[in-house]
Amino acid sequence: MKIQTQWLDGLCFVGSTEHGHSVVMDGAAPEDGKRGISPMAMLLMGAAGCSSIDVVGIARKQRQDIRDCICEVTAKRADTIPKVFTDIHLHFKVLGRDLDEQAIAKAVQLSAEKYCSASIMLSQAAKVTHSFECVAV
């Protein structure tokens, strides 16, 4: 895997992957015209995306009729610099028809403990927890 960042101006950078996907990151405050996501928010978004891919993939293999999967992440950071994450919580809202709650629980557990390299890596520095809810549609 290879990525690069390139400075645009101020505290704004564009990050690009070797496959041509890009994202704008900005360290400016919102009141200063922030134009992109903060790098720390990108870390959380990466964990949410990685784990969501696992949950959906595992649930599909379990023949669950998933219609949507939303991952809400809340996090706390240390008060002092470097202000690392101390607590991260991923909550999955899984929407579908006739969902088996035990199957979804197993999908979330497998992601948390075995498959999601992003959240497992973050768990080496912060307390990472997971929860879920099934919503019938």
My answer on whether 71 and 27 are in the same domain is no
State residue 21's pLDDT score. Answer: 97
The per-residue pLDDT for range 29-65, each reduced to its tens digit, is 999 999 999 999 999 999 999 999 999 999 999 999 9
**How many whole angstroms separate alpha carbon 42 and alpha carbon 23?**
10
Q: In b/e form, how buried is each residue of 1-18, taking b as 16+ CB within 10 angstroms?
A: eeeeeeeeeebbbebeee
My answer on whether 7 and 54 are in the same domain is no
**How many whole angstroms separate alpha carbon 40 and alpha carbon 27?**
10
The per-residue pLDDT for range 61-113, each reduced to its tens digit, is 999 999 999 999 999 999 999 999 999 999 999 999 999 999 999 999 999 99
State residue 101's pLDDT score. Answer: 98
Domain ranges, residue 27: 3-32
My answer on whether 95 and 74 are in the same domain is yes
**Where residue 79 sits, what CATH number does that domain have?**
3.30.300.20
My answer on whether 129 and 68 are in the same domain is yes
My answer on whether 103 and 125 are in the same domain is yes
Q: Residues 114-136: what's their mean pLDDT? A: 98
Q: How many domains are there within the chain?
A: 2
Helix or strand holding residue 7 (H, E)? strand 3-9
